[in-house]
């Protein structure tokens, strides 16, 4: 005689629903076979590294390939890395990665967030200046000059002035800017009288040919005398050997020494410095002069600007806001800044 096995009672609807819910939760907690708590570890690590680079970029060595200066040139663009990591964290549905991203977000906001704030209200005593590398290949110098004058600045600093375009700039700007000084390939046009104009020796020892890319003069404004420096530091090159910037760095040091020795209290520096204010190579200047408090103003290259290498700095004055002007015939964008005299 064969006894029939006793049938197990079937679970009720409530029990089946609970079992199904448990299975769904187990599957949802795993992506690619990994528990939810471990997802996004690589993204979190990348976020932490990005935060470290933002905060401690000065610790990146410059001796090998100029990596420190190269990182600092494009330092604001680490914000784009954060955006990419955020998208990946959302795709992975990783809480760990999202929390880790708070680190680079906080670092970037601390470093660059103030630049995005609205410009301060202009003051009656403010000085408006324009800085522009006009390019020695500019085929519309007259149009460039008119565009710069259209911003109605008090001072216009130009670099890469070469014959015969120099005469075009002089003729076009003369009606509104009767005072000017040109030393070598750099020049300054002013609505206010200029005195004590002279060339500024910022040529690196390694350059043997004729080279004059700096000047110093005094602008007699209604608000007092201001020592104005105009400079064009040597170019840098990025190649297989890294960042080649030795001449630029030496020239920045010479310019910093000249500013430090300036006897007038108020100083304004306008120039194509071939470096950003975050680049340690410009420390001889940024440790002695104040930089723009508002505005990003990427100026180079004009076709797709990724960095501001055209600078306005000041001493005993505040560079309240800096902005770019529309493109001219140059490979740089002009920058305009409002300076409040202290």
Band (pLDDT 50/70/90 cuts) for residue 24 is low
Tell me the residue length of the chain. 342
Q: State mean pLDDT over 316-324.
A: 96
Q: Predicted confidence band at 4 (pLDDT cuts at 50, 70, 90)? A: low
Backbone angles phi, psi at 274, to 5 degrees: 50, 40
CA–CA separation, 339 vs 126, rounded Å?
5
User: What pLDDT sits at residue 15?
Assistant: 67
pLDDT band at 323 (very low <50, low <70, confident <90, very high): very high
pLDDT range class, residue 31, cuts 50, 70, 90: very low
- Choose among 259, 268, 280, 273: nearest CA to 308: 273
**Dihedral of the alpha carbons of 309, 128, 256, 114, in degrees to the nearest 10:** -60
Confidence check: pLDDT of 122 > 90: no
pLDDT tens for 163-217 read 999 999 999 999 999 999 999 999 999 999 999 999 999 999 999 999 999 999 9
Residue-averaged pLDDT of the chain: 91
DSSP of 39-64, one letter per residue? TTHHHHHHHHHHHHHHHSGGGS-STT
Pick from 290, 285, 295, 292: which is nearest to 325 by CA?
A: 295
Q: Exposed, middle or buried by CB within 10 Å (0-12, 13-18, 19+), for 244?
A: middle
What is each CA distance from 265 to 4, 224, 250, 314, in whole angstroms?
107, 10, 25, 10
């Amino acid at each position: 005689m064969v006894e029939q096995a006793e049938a197990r009672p079937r679970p009720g609807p409530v029990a089946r629903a609970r079992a199904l819910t448990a299975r769904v939760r187990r599957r949802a907690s795993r992506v690619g076979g990994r528990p939810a708590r471990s997802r996004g570890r690589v993204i979190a690590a990348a976020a932490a590294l990005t935060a470290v680079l933002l905060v401690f970029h000065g610790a990146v060595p410059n001796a090998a390939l100029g990596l420190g200066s190269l990182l600092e040139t494009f330092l604001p663009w680490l914000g784009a890395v954060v955006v990419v990591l955020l998208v990946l964290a959302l795709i992975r549905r990783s809480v760990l990665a999202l929390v880790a991203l708070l680190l680079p977000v906080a670092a970037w906001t601390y470093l660059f967030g103030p630049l995005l704030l609205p410009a301060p209200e202009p003051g009656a005593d403010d000085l408006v200046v324009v800085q522009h590398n006009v390019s020695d290949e500019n085929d519309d110098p007259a149009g460039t000059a008119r565009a710069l004058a259209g911003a109605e600045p008090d001072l216009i600093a130009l670099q890469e002035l070469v014959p015969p375009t120099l005469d075009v700039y002089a003729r076009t700007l003369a009606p509104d800017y009767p005072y000017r000084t040109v030393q070598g390939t750099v020049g300054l046009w002013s609505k206010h009288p200029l005195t004590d104009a002279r060339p500024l020796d910022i040529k690196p020892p390694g350059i043997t040919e004729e080279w004059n890319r700096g000047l110093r003069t005094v602008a007699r404004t209604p608000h007092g005398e201001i020592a104005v420096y105009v400079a064009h530091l040597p170019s840098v090159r990025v190649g297989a050997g890294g960042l080649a910037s030795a001449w630029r760095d030496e020239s920045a040091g010479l310019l910093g020494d000249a500013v430090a020795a300036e006897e007038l209290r108020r100083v304004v520096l306008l120039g194509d410095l071939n470096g950003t204010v975050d680049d340690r190579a410009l420390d001889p200047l940024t440790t002695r002069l104040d930089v723009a408090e508002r505005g990003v103003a990427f100026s180079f290259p004009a076709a797709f600007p990724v960095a501001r290498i055209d600078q306005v700095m000041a001493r005993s004055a505040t560079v309240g806001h800096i902005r770019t002007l529309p493109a001219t015939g140059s490979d740089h964008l002009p920058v305009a800044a409002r300076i409040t005299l202290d």
